[in-house]
Every structure is written in structure tokens, then in C-alpha cells.
Amino acid sequence: MAEFTMELSDEQKEVRDWLHGFAADVIRPAAAEWDEREETPWPVIQEAAKVGIYSLDFYAQQYFDPTGLGIPMAMEELFWGDAGIALSIVGTGLAAVGVLANGTEEQIGTWIPQMYGDANDVKVAAFCSSEPDAGSDVAAMRTRAVYDEAKDEWVLNGTKTWATNGGIAGVHVVVAVVDAELGSKGHASFIIPPATPGLSQGQKFKKHGIRASHTAEVILDNVRVPGSCLLGGKEKLDARLARAREKVRKGGERVKNAAMATFEASRPAVGAMAVGTARAAYEVALEYAQTREQFGRPIIDNQGVAFQLADMRTSIDAARLLVWRASWMAINGKPFTAAEGSMSKLFASETAKKVTAQAIQILGGNGYTREYPVERMHRDSAIYTIFEGTSEIQRLVIARTLAGMPIR
């Protein structure tokens, strides 16, 4: 087990500086254009693939960093560049992690390379879980997967929503209900190969922020996939369902808590994204306050502005420390006895919204225009308090954990 530290190793610093350079030289110059176009920034993704950032190998190296800091460090730097473009770069990782976590070696070797493509022909993948009536309430999921034993095929029907890369992806990973009586434990994940009949893109959402990231509905209409597309295989699924039924019979709350622990472990990465956006806005505001003069002196000399910057920096550093703590705990198997994963996501998300708003205030009228990036950063920051569990859900998880109550 790695000791908790706030000091990055030389190797980690080298990776951080490499990512920062890519964010500064490639992502930032393209940010305003792709935000206006509201399209997937394929040229930027291709550049990321050429240098090795858009690849499974890179994210695997960061994910298995024994300090737990690889992923939050990478997320912070990329999202410092631009949230919309960064989400387009890292979005495929959601689907890849789904396969890595649940798939067989053969499935991992077959499908993950297809998710990324190569530097000359980049692909994206989509992870499809949320539904119109099942966001925070995952037990309300309606998409069904029914096994056709005669053909050894699964038939999927339903609608997914808020899917990053939904419809434009080659490979889709879809979570569906196979046993409705088991709630979230009755779910399974399926690979939908490229060009599978019955899968189509529904509504593409025109969003307030992160506009360079494609978000859409995915429609599944009698989608048939081979039995080999069930992640983990049917034998493993049948055994898991049998254990879940036994646990439900003895006490269903333990099943729900185990599921919640999985969500807890993924939330610090979103917190790191929020830290990156907040830090970017703070740096713009700091530079502006140091160079903008009013009444013959820089506006940072005014206590009202200086105190705002002090609060912004303090909140950003506090958010990063919460993210790092939760990330270290997760990689080292430390239990989140106080919902530390939700704590990090909650505080970092709220910090990003507050700091970006303060940055606009410091820039005044300039901050309200698209000539300066803080306007875009403020729009982008709104998503952090919504996806991967709203701030209200984070507070509920924390409160019920502290009270020793089951998390529903």
C-alpha cells in the first residue's frame, strides 16, 4: 500500500507537465471554436491519439498508479485546458473501464482496441446507463435484455439518455435489466458492436456547457447481439444473480450498500475535472486583476478583489486535497466510512461553480463576453453538480453514511 503524500514523484510531475503542455498548446487554442460549433473535435482527439494521450495504455497506467493520483492529476490538467474537449478525449474511457471491470480477457482484447481505433482512424465509444426516468434512481431502469436461448442471443429494448458519444460511437456499452426483482443487482452490461441493426441515435442535446462533447439519446429497438457480447459471460451472470437473490432473501440493504460503494469510488475523478476548470478560471482572474488598472492602480490592490482571489485559491486547494484523499483511499482499498468519495465530488463541483462565477465578477463586463474564456468555463462548470450524481445526491449519501443508515 502506498503512503498518502501530497508530493508528486518526478515521474508524475513529468506526466503532469506533458499533459499541461498538450492542454495549453492544443486544447485551449481550439476551445472557443468547438464550443461554438457544438461538434465533436475530431482533429483534437486525433492529435491526442498521435501523442499517446487518447489510448487505453495511457489511462491504464494512470488508473493503476499505486498512489491513486494518476487519474485525478490527468483529469485536472486536461480539463484545465477545456472541459468540453477534455470530455471528448476521456469519454471513451467510461466504456473501456466498463469492459475492463466486467469483461473476460477475450472481450477486453477484442473490443477495447476497437473503441479507440488508431491515430490515423480514431474511434470513440459510449457508455449508456442513464435513462429518461432513471438517473439518480438506477433501480428505476427500464431497458431490458432478454436471452434467446435457441439462438444464443440477447435482445435489448429501451432508451438511454445523456450518453456521451451516444450514436456516434462505434462500440456502445449498454447497461440493461435482466432481473427486475433484484433492483440494481439485476443489471448486466452488454457490448453493442458497430453497425448493429436496431441501435440508433435519438435526440442530440444542445447543452448549456461542455458543448464540444457529444451527448445524445440512444434508442434500442429489438437489438440482437450474440451471447458473447454479455460482459463476463452467462455463467458468471447466472452465478452473480443467484448470490444476489440469496442476499436479498437474507437482507437486501447489504446489496444496495455494496452497489453504492462502486459509485463512491468513481466520483473523485469528476471532482478532479471540476478542480481543473476552477483552477483555469482562477488563473485568468488572477492575471486580469494583476494587469487591469482602475484609478491608477491594479485592481488586485483593492481588498474586495484580493479577498475574492484568496477565497478562490483556498477553495481550489481544499477541493484538490479532498479529491486526492479519496483517490488514494480508493486505490488502496480503504473503506469510505464517511462517504469520502461523495465529499470530494460535492466540494469540488460546488467550488467550480462558485469560482467561475467569481472570475466573471472580477473581470466585470469583459468576463460576461465570449472574448474571455471565463464565460465558457462558468457554463461548463454547471455540469459538475449534475452528472455522476447531483450535489443533492452527494449530500444524501454523506448524511446517511454518517448516520449509519442504508443508502437507497
Q: What percent of the chain has pLDDT over 90?
A: 78
The pLDDT, as a whole number, for residue 256 is 43
User: Collapsing DSSP states into helix, strand and coil, what is residue 71?
Assistant: helix
Q: What is the mean pLDDT of the segment spanning 44-50?
A: 97
Q: What percent of the chain has pLDDT over 70?
A: 93
Evaluate if pTM is beyond 0.85: yes
The pLDDT, as a whole number, for residue 59 is 87
The pLDDT, as a whole number, for residue 257 is 37
With beta carbons less than 8 A apart as the criterion, state whether 31 and 23 touch: no
The pLDDT, as a whole number, for residue 252 is 53
253 has a pLDDT exceeding 70: no
Residue 208: count of CB within 10 angstroms of its CB: 11
| 5 class by beta-carbon count within 10 Å (0-12 exposed, 13-18 middle, 19+ buried) | exposed
DSSP states along 285-316: HHHHHHH-EETTEEGGGSHHHHHHHHHHHHHH
- Is the alpha carbon torsion for 391, 393, 394, 400 positive or negative? positive
The pLDDT, as a whole number, for residue 60 is 86
Q: What is the mean pLDDT of the segment spanning 272-290?
A: 98
* Ranges assigned E (strand) in 336-389: none
Cell of 403: 448516520
Element (H or E) spanning 173, and its range? strand 171-177
The pLDDT, as a whole number, for residue 97 is 84
The pLDDT, as a whole number, for residue 179 is 92
pLDDT 10s digits, 58-113: 988 998 899 999 999 999 999 999 999 999 999 998 899 889 888 999 999 999 99
Between CA 338 and CA 276 the distance in angstroms is 25
Contacts by residues 198-206 (CB-CB < 8 Å, ≥ 24 positions apart): 198/156, 198/222, 198/223, 198/224, 199/172, 199/223, 200/167, 201/166, 201/167, 201/168, 202/159, 202/161, 202/167, 204/167, 205/162, 206/38
Between CA 213 and CA 86 the distance in angstroms is 8
The pLDDT, as a whole number, for residue 264 is 60
With beta carbons less than 8 A apart as the criterion, state whether 264 and 205 touch: no
pLDDT 10s digits, 180-233: 888 878 999 999 999 999 999 999 999 999 999 999 999 999 999 999 999 999
* Ranges assigned E (strand) in 186-310: 187-192, 199-204, 215-226, 293-294, 297-298
137 has a pLDDT exceeding 80: no
165 has a pLDDT exceeding 90: yes
255 has a pLDDT exceeding 70: no
Using pLDDT thresholds of 50, 70 and 90, give the confidence band for residue 270: very high
398 has a pLDDT exceeding 50: yes
With beta carbons less than 8 A apart as the criterion, state whether 381 and 278 touch: yes
What is the maximum span of the chain, computed from C-alpha positions, in angstroms? 82
**Bridge partners (DSSP) listed for residue 131:** 134
357 has a pLDDT exceeding 80: yes
With beta carbons less than 8 A apart as the criterion, state whether 71 and 96 touch: no
The pLDDT, as a whole number, for residue 136 is 63
pLDDT 10s digits, 307-329: 999 999 999 999 999 999 999 99
Amino acid at 253: E
| Catalytic (active-site) positions | 388
